[in-house]
Amino acid sequence: MIVCVCNNISDREIRQAVDLGISSMPELHRELGVGTCCGKCVSYARDVLNEHLDSK
């Protein structure tokens, strides 16, 4: 499912980024561009990030 429509980033890509070592929203912004346009995805992207970090 697409999380960030502006940058076409899916929840799967966010999980993959976490698997590669990303552990914070600033890193997600920098590496994938999540939330860098309209910002509407930030809350959900944070949930996906935190859930995947917690599952590790």
Other CB atoms within 10 A of residue 5 CB: 11
Asked whether position 40 contacts ligand FES by CB under 6 A, the answer is yes
CA 16 to chain CA centroid, Å, is: 9
Asked whether position 47 contacts ligand FES by CB under 6 A, the answer is no
Which position among 10, 19, 31, 39 is part of the footprint of ligand FES (CB under 6 A)? 39
Asked if 5 and 34 touch (Cβ cutoff 8 Å), the reply is no
Q: How many chain residues interact with ligand FES (CB under 6 A)? A: 12
Binding region for ligand FES (CB under 6 A):
4-7, 34-41
